[in-house]
Amino acid sequence: MNLASIPSPGSNTIGPFHMYGLMIALGVIAAVELGRRRWAARGGNPDDLYAIAFWAVPAGLIGARLYHLATDWRQYQDRWLDAFKIWNGGLGIPGGIALGVIVGLWVAHRRGARLSVILDAVVPALPLAQAIGRLGNWWNQELFGRPSSLPWAIRIDPVHRPVEYIGSSTFQPTFLYEMLWNLALCGLLILIDRKRSLRPGNILPIYVGLYFVGRLWIESLRIDEASTIGPFRINIWMSIIGIGGAVIVLLVRGLRRTIDDIDEPYLDGHIWTPPTDTAKEEKTDESV
């Protein structure tokens, strides 16, 4: 008998609010604010982040949902209307990262930002958003792992348990592991970037590689139904591809800063001078 466990909420709504969606919204707000502060510390216009988020956040959500539908389409073949019920969960992070970053870079380029520099400023905020968003899985009682008697195991109501594990009540909280991994990754990326020893833009492949290292382990613990290729879940293959791709990018680009690397936030011809009051409000130290 498990004497200690993490309880699950009895409902995934509070009043009219679906907590899954609210957690995603809170994650976005936190990430945008962190990104604004870091971009301002580099001499950029913090309002650039509002413009980027306006387009990149919806694109990221669409990409995440499309990835989920593409990899778990069997869940919806007899109830296709459920594919639009995003509040019930079902977002694939790889798809969200890919489409969100692509659209975000497009907006940043149109605003004259130097892409490598703005990437280094904004990327550490991405795992922060992911970490907060993972709390939505707790509210939905989903994305848990194998049965467990650990004191931090999550208690799952019978209606949410897989049929083959209906007799088990506590499970590995894999969403919690990913949340903690993402928080640690956010802090690590900020520390790495603070040293200014890497080539501008390298924070992105480091983030991708380290995120998928954690995801590779977490996927091995999960028991929810998922599409597979050969003996492995698709997300395990994606993790392997993500790690390999990140390593290749770093090897091709070179890890360390070179004498030709530029730290100016904007391309030549694009100059932004903050108003005096704004500059005081947005002033921040390099610890952010």
Domain boundaries along the sequence of the chain: 13-156+169-271
pLDDT for 285 equals 52
The rounded mean pLDDT for the chain is 89
Is 256 strand, coil or helix? strand
For residues 225-243, give the mean pLDDT.
Answer: 90
Q: Which tokens hold the place of 49?
A: 């982040």
- Residues paired with residue 222 on neighbouring β-strands, in sequence order: 145
pLDDT for 39 equals 97
Check whether 82 has a pLDDT greater than 80: no
Q: Is-above-0.85 flag for pTM? A: yes
pLDDT for 276 equals 62
Check whether 149 has a pLDDT greater than 60: yes
pLDDT for 89 equals 67
Check whether 280 has a pLDDT greater than 50: no
pLDDT for 122 equals 98
How far is the C-alpha of 258 from the C-alpha of 277, rounded, in Å?
A: 35
pLDDT for 254 equals 92
pLDDT for 288 equals 62
Check whether 269 has a pLDDT greater than 80: no
pLDDT in tens, 23-55: 999 999 999 999 999 999 999 999 999 999 999
pLDDT for 224 equals 83
Check whether 281 has a pLDDT greater than 70: no
Q: Which tokens hold the place of 240?
A: 């392997």
Single out the residue of 24, 207, 176, 193 nearest to residue 98, CA to CA: 207
Q: Which tokens hold the place of 76?
A: 């919806």
Residue 72 sits at φ, ψ, to 5 deg, of -130, 40
pLDDT for 61 equals 92
193 within 8 A of 203, measured Cβ to Cβ: yes
Check whether 86 has a pLDDT greater than 80: no
pLDDT in tens, 188-227: 999 999 988 999 999 999 999 999 999 999 999 998 878 8
pLDDT for 96 equals 92
How far is the C-alpha of 52 from the C-alpha of 60, rounded, in Å?
A: 11
Q: What is the pLDDT confidence band of residue 272, given thresholds at 50, 70 and 90?
A: confident
Sequence letter at residue 12: N
pLDDT in tens, 114-140: 999 999 999 999 999 999 999 999 999
Could you tell me which residue, 218 or 259, shows the higher pLDDT?
218
